[in-house]
């Protein structure tokens, strides 16, 4: 098949909401690691500095939330996953070892958004306190707790748009530091997330529109107030670097679990993708540390594959002036039970950084997500939300999907795949109320 014919088939599958697997033809074309793409907005130094800052922030998190945040700080366990917990299509023997990265267990915010959201809000608070002459850059982050600094932060506003989890993360850390917080919620946001934010003292503005429209509404509001800061999910490098700082945590845990990355065996990482910041940051951070050895795959719902829609635009055509692709261009509505992934248009920043790095992407039906939620709960006691389980499809698909045949051959075939380590990034779920969770379990049991 020619590349054009391949692309037409992919686009037809995308429009028809048929689950598909796409291998990124641009991966590795210009090497790996920072600078892999021309004129990149972030480099290895940004990544290294973010990792160090994230470590230094942990004392502040423990001080702000002494009951919720223990010795490990804002970090999550890496658990082995029994082969029986994977979708039945998988020949478990052939897939190598599978782990789950439990970001559902992240303290306070209960999702991967604790990484990016906390990192950006603390970085911003520290920067404005330094600008105001209240702190010096060499002071520890705990100095944000000093009374004069808190009084200053209480005069400043934070704004963010969210389908739910980013709002929870920014809202909870922002309020804890003393900021006034306004969260613009898209149509996808669940009532309990709004209630939780209001209880923390955040103002919740409800929009009947999709997520991208809520982002633009929040941006417009923030632009009119110089004492405010907008946490920009489309453009923020701070959010992105907060997610990237998860990379050393994972590499250390793999070592502790006996995975000998030094032997050169491949690491496959499967991360659910919404606008792209969380999975993109993780893929970027891991590629800084491991280069070609890590193969990052994103998972998107069949109704909201916004990153795939953008990456299918040839790089040559993706100028800064070009309009971003949207899932609406494919006749899709972006509606999914996976609210964290209900995004119609990807981040341009992240799409650009992923072109030379991402290994591939696959799409998943909602019924499958619900079935995974039910299976992981009944079989492994893991309480995950539908957005959090999309990556569970990956290990099996990489072994069996005909669309990955060329990729498997290039990797070295079955023998190499069998030595691979897979990390399925479980991105959230521990805060979900009982009634919502049991409704998913019922739906998941029906789905099979
Ligand atoms: C936000 C979110 C994602 C995806 O992150 P993006 O930065 O939007 O791509 C995945 N899972 C959960 C649970 C989320 O809340």
Three-state DSSP string of 75-94: CCCEEECCHHHCCCCCCHHH
Average pLDDT of the chain is 93
At a CB cut-off of 8 Å and minimum separation 6, what does 408 contact?
Answer: 398, 399, 414, 417
- How many Cβ atoms sit within 10 Å of the Cβ of residue 149? 21
pLDDT at position 86 is: 86
Q: Identify the residue whose tokens are 């982050």.
A: 141
> Which of the residue ranges 247-251, 318-322, 404-408 would you say has the lowest mean pLDDT?
318-322
Residue 189 has pLDDT above 90, yes or no: no
**CB-ligand 1 contact for 113 (6 Å cutoff):** yes
In angstroms, what is the span from residue 304 Cα to ligand 1's centroid?
12
Between 314 and 19, the higher pLDDT residue: 19
In angstroms, what is the span from residue 154 Cα to ligand 1's centroid?
28
User: Which of 237, 283, 297, 387 is the pocket-test mutation for ligand 1 (most atoms within 8 Å of CB)?
Assistant: 387
Q: Which residue has its alpha carbon closest to ligand 1 atom 14?
A: 340
Rounded mean pLDDT of 405-409? 95
User: Which of 160, 172, 272 is the pocket-test mutation for ligand 1 (most atoms within 8 Å of CB)?
Assistant: 272
Percent of the chain's residues with pLDDT above 90: 81
Rounded mean pLDDT of 90-101? 76
In angstroms, what is the span from residue 131 Cα to ligand 1's centroid?
32
pLDDT at position 6 is: 82
Rounded mean pLDDT of 160-173? 94
Say how far apart CA 357 and CA 285 lie, in whole Å.
11
Residue 36 has pLDDT above 70, yes or no: no
pLDDT at position 188 is: 82
Residue 337 has pLDDT above 60, yes or no: yes
pLDDT confidence bin for 34, thresholds 50/70/90: low
Q: Which residue has its alpha carbon closest to ligand 1 atom 10?
A: 272
Sheet holding 157-162, edge to edge: 203-206, 180-185, 157-162, 228-231
Say how far apart CA 291 and CA 285 lie, in whole Å.
10
Between 190 and 354, the higher pLDDT residue: 354
pLDDT at position 118 is: 98
pLDDT at position 107 is: 95
In angstroms, what is the span from residue 147 Cα to ligand 1's centroid?
34
Query: Model-level pTM?
Result: 0.96
Rounded mean pLDDT of 115-124? 98
The residues facing 229 across adjacent strands are 158
**CB-ligand 1 contact for 112 (6 Å cutoff):** yes
> Which of the residue ranges 295-299, 370-374, 395-399 would you say has the lowest mean pLDDT?
395-399
Q: Identify the residue whose tokens are 């306004």.
A: 182
Residue 38 has pLDDT above 70, yes or no: no
Closest ligand 1 atom to residue 164 Cα is: 15
pLDDT at position 284 is: 96
The residues facing 161 across adjacent strands are 184
- Residue 67 phi/psi, 5-degree rounding, is -80, -40
**CB-ligand 1 contact for 373 (6 Å cutoff):** no
Q: What is the pLDDT of residues 39-57, one digit of tens each?
A: 788 999 999 999 999 999 9
């Amino acid at each position: 098949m020619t590349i054009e014919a391949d692309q037409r088939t992919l686009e037809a599958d995308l429009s028809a909401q048929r689950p598909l697997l796409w291998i990124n033809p641009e991966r590795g074309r210009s090497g790996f690691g920072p600078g892999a793409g021309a004129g990149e907005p972030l480099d290895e130094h940004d990544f290294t500095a973010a990792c160090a800052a994230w470590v230094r922030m942990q004392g502040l998190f423990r001080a702000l939330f002494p009951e919720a945040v223990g010795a490990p700080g804002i970090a999550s366990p890496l658990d082995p996953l029994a082969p029986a917990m994977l979708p039945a299509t998988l020949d478990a023997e052939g897939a190598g070892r599978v782990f789950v990265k439990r970001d559902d267990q992240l303290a306070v915010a209960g999702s991967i958004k604790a990484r990016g959201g906390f990192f950006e809000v603390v970085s911003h608070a520290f920067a404005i306190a330094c600008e105001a002459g209240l702190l010096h850059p060499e002071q520890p982050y705990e100095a944000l707790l000093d009374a004069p600094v808190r009084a200053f932060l209480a005069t400043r506003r934070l704004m963010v748009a969210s389908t739910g989890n980013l709002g929870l993360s920014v809202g909870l850390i922002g309020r804890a530091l003393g900021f006034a917080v306004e969260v613009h919620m898209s149509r996808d946001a669940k009532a309990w997330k709004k209630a939780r934010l209001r209880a923390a003292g955040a103002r919740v503005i409800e929009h009947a529109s999709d997520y991208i429209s809520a982002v633009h509404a929040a941006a417009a509001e923030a632009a009119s107030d110089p004492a405010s800061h907008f946490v920009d999910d489309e453009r923020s490098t701070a959010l992105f670097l907060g997610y990237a700082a998860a990379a050393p945590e994972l590499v250390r845990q793999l070592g502790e679990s006996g995975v000998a990355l030094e032997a050169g065996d491949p690491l496959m990482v499967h991360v659910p993708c919404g606008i792209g910041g969380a999975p993109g940051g993780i893929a970027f951070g891991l590629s800084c540390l491991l280069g070609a050895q890590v193969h990052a795959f994103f998972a998107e719902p069949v109704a909201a594959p916004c990153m795939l829609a953008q990456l299918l635009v040839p790089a040559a055509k993706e100028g800064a002036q070009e309009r971003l692709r949207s899932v609406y261009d494919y006749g899709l509505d972006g509606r999914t039970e996976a609210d964290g992934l209900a995004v119609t248009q990807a981040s341009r920043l992240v799409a650009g950084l992923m072109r030379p790095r991402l290994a591939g992407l696959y799409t998943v039906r909602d019924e499958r997500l619900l079935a995974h939620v039910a299976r992981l709960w009944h079989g492994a006691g893991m309480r995950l939300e539908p957005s959090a389980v999309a990556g569970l499809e990956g290990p099996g698909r990489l072994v069996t999907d005909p669309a990955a045949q060329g990729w498997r051959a290039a990797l070295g075939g079955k023998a190499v795949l069998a030595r691979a380590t897979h990390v399925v990034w479980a991105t959230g779920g521990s805060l979900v109320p009982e009634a919502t969770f049991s409704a998913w379990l019922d739906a998941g049991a029906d789905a099979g």
